[in-house]
Amino acid sequence: MKKYLVIAQTAFKAQIVYRFDVGMTALATLWKLLFAWILWGAIFEGRQSVSGFSFQTMLAYYLVVSFLSSMDLSSGVSFELSNRIRGGTFSKFMVLPASPQLQFLAQSLGSSAYYALFALLAALGCALLFRIRAGFSAGPAEILCALCLAILGLIFMVSYHYCIGLLTFKFQEISFFLHMQGNLIAFATGAMLPLTLLPKPVLDLLSALPFPHVGYLPAMLLTGQAGLVEGLKGFVVLLLWTAGLMAANRLLYERLRVQYDGVGI
Amino acid sequence: MRRNLRFIWLLTKLRLAHTMVFRVSFFGAFFADGALFLVQMLAFSLIYGQVDGIGGWSRGQMMIFIGSFSMLNGLSMFLCFFGLADLPRKIREGGIDLYLTKPGNPLLRLSFESMDLGSAPLLLLSAFIVAHGMAIEGIMLTLPLILYYGALILAMGLLYYDMELILRTIPFFVISATAIERLEGDMLTLNFKIPGVLYKGGFKLLFYFVLPYGIMATVPTEALSGVLGPWGLAYALAIVAGFTAFALWFWGLGLRNYKSASS
- Tally helices (H) and strands (E) across chain B: 14, 0
Question: In Å, how far are B3, B39, B112 from B94, measured between CA atoms?
Answer: 27, 40, 19
Cα angle: A180, vertex A185, A188; to 5 degrees? 135
**Which parts of chain B fold into alpha helices (H)?**
2-19, 28-48, 59-79, 81-85, 87-93, 96-101, 106-112, 120-137, 143-169, 178-191, 201-205, 213-216, 218-224, 230-256
Å between B211 CA and nearest CA of chain A: 15
Q: Nearest by CB to A39, which of B42, B182, B198?
A: B198
Contact flag A186-B39 (C-beta cutoff 8 Å)? yes
Question: Chain B within 8 Å of A206 (Cβ-Cβ)?
Answer: no
Are B173 and B255 a contacting pair, CB within 8 Å?
no
**Per the domain annotation, does B262 fall within a domain?**
no
Q: How far apart are CA A151 and CA A138, in angstroms?
A: 18
DSSP state for residue B58 in the 8-state scheme: -
pLDDT at A140 over 80: yes
Q: Residues with Cβ < 8 Å from A168, sequence gap 6 or more?
A: A81, A82, A85, A86, A174
Q: Is residue B11 part of a domain?
A: yes
Three-state secondary-structure class, residue B57 = strand
Q: Lowest-confidence range among B81-85, B163-167, B173-177?
A: B173-177
pLDDT of residue A135: 67
Residue B263 in any domain: the answer is no
* Of the listed ranges B107-116, B133-142, B151-160, the one predicted with least confidence: B107-116
Q: What is the 3-state secondary structure (H, E, C) of A6-24?
A: HHHHHHHHHHHHHHHHHHH
Q: How far apart are CA B261 and CA B259, in angstroms?
A: 6
Instruction: Specify if A200 maps to a domain.
Output: yes
Identify all chain B residues contacting A43, using CB atoms and an 8 Å cutoff: 47, 50-51, 54
Query: Bridge partners of B57?
Result: B54
For the cut 70, the answer to whether the pLDDT of residue B261 exceeds it is no
Provide the residue range defining the domain that includes A138: 2-259
pLDDT at A265 over 60: no
**A132 or B211, which is more confident?**
B211
pLDDT value of position A251: 94
Q: Is B97 part of a structural domain of the chain?
A: yes
Q: What is the pLDDT of residue A144?
A: 94
pLDDT per position as a tens digit, A144-183 = 999 999 999 999 999 999 999 998 888 877 777 787 788 8
Judged by a CB distance cut-off of 8 A, whether residue B16 touches chain A is no
Give the C-alpha separation, A76 to A193, whole Å: 23
CA distance B113 to B122: 19
State yes or no: pLDDT of B222 exceeds 80: yes
Q: Which residues of A touch B42 (CB under 8 A)?
A: 187
B55 closest CB neighbour out of A31, A42, A182: A42
Among B174, B132, B165, CA closest to B244:
B165
| Neighbouring residues of B22: CB distance < 8 A, sequence distance ≥ 6 | A173
Which of the listed ranges A21-25, A159-163, A182-186 does the model predict with the highest average pLDDT?
A159-163
In a domain, A32, yes or no: yes
Asked whether residue A106 is assigned to any structural domain, the reply reads: yes
Residue A264, in any domain of the structure: no
Contacts of A18 (CB under 8 A, 6+ apart): none
CB-nearest to B31 from A35, A43, A176 is A176
The model's confidence at residue B237, banded by pLDDT at 50, 70 and 90, is very high
Mean pLDDT for chain B overall = 86
- Cβ-nearest to A39 among B178, B182, B193: B193
User: How many CA atoms, within 13 angstroms, populate the side-chain half-sphere of residue A154?
Assistant: 25
Whether the predicted pLDDT of B60 surpasses 70: yes
Confidence category of residue A86, pLDDT binned at 50, 70, 90: confident
Instruction: State the first-to-last Cα distance of chain A, in angstroms, to the nearest integer.
Output: 24
pLDDT at B19: 67
Give the mean pLDDT of B254-259: 87
pLDDT at position A237:
96
Angle of helix A140-166 relative to helix A55-71, nearest 10 degrees, comes to 40
Signed CA dihedral, A77, A80, A83, A86: sign only: negative
What value does the mean pLDDT take over residues B239-258? 94
Least-confidence region, from A104-113, B45-54, B74-83, B112-121 = B112-121
Neighbours of B133 (CB within 10 A): 25
**Of residues B213 and A20, more confidently modeled:** B213
**Is B215 domain-assigned?**
yes
pLDDT confidence tier of residue A49, bands split at 50, 70 and 90: confident
ipTM: 0.82
Residue B191 pLDDT exceeds 90: no
Average pLDDT, chain A: 87
pLDDT at B115: 83
CB A62 within 8 A of CB A213: no
State yes or no: pLDDT of B219 exceeds 70: yes
In a domain, B93, yes or no: yes
Residues of A in contact with B194 (CB under 8 A): 35, 38-39
Residue B194 is assigned to a structural domain of this protein: yes
Q: Looking at the 3D structure of chain B, how many domains does it have?
A: 1
Across A84-93, A204-213, B16-25, B92-101, the highest mean pLDDT is recorded for A204-213
pLDDT of residue A234: 95
State residue A98 phi and psi, 5-degree precision: -155, 155
Check residue A258 and give its pLDDT.
84
User: Measured between CA atoms, how close is B204 to chain A, in angstroms?
Assistant: 11
pLDDT of residue B25: 62
Put simply, whether B22 touches A (Cβ < 8 Å) is yes
Q: How many domains does chain A have?
A: 1
Q: Please check whether residue A31 lies inside any domain of the structure.
A: yes
The residue range of the domain holding B57 is 2-256
Residue B162 has pLDDT above 70, yes or no: yes
Kindly provide the b/e burial profile for residues A84-115, where b requires at least 16 CB atoms within 10 angstroms of the residue's own CB.
Answer: bbbeeebeebeeeeebbbbbbbbbbbbbbbbb
pLDDT reported for residue B148: 95
Residue A228 resides in a domain: yes
Banded model confidence at residue A264, pLDDT cuts 50, 70, 90: low
Q: Stretch B196-223: mean pLDDT, rounded?
A: 92
In a domain, B197, yes or no: yes
A79 touches chain B (CB under 8 A): no
Q: What is the number of helices (H) and of strands (E) in chain A?
A: 12, 0
- With pLDDT > 70 as the criterion, what percentage of chain B qualifies? 92
pLDDT surpassing 60 at residue B263: no
Mutation for A interface: B50, B66, B206, B207, most A CBs within 10 A:
B50
Question: What's the mean pLDDT in A2-24?
Answer: 81
Q: Position A81: which residue type?
A: L
Query: Does any CB of chain A come closer than 8 Å to the CB of residue B35?
Result: yes
Task: Tell me the pLDDT band of B59, cut-offs 50, 70 and 90.
Answer: very high
pLDDT of B249 reads 96
Closest chain A residue by Cα to residue B25: A176
Contact status of A173 with chain B (Cβ, < 8 Å): yes
Domain-located, residue A72: yes
Residue A265 lies in a domain: no
Say whether residue A47 is in contact with chain B using an 8 A CB cutoff: yes
Q: What is the pLDDT of residue A242?
A: 96
pLDDT of residue B214: 93
Query: What pLDDT does B66 receive?
Result: 93
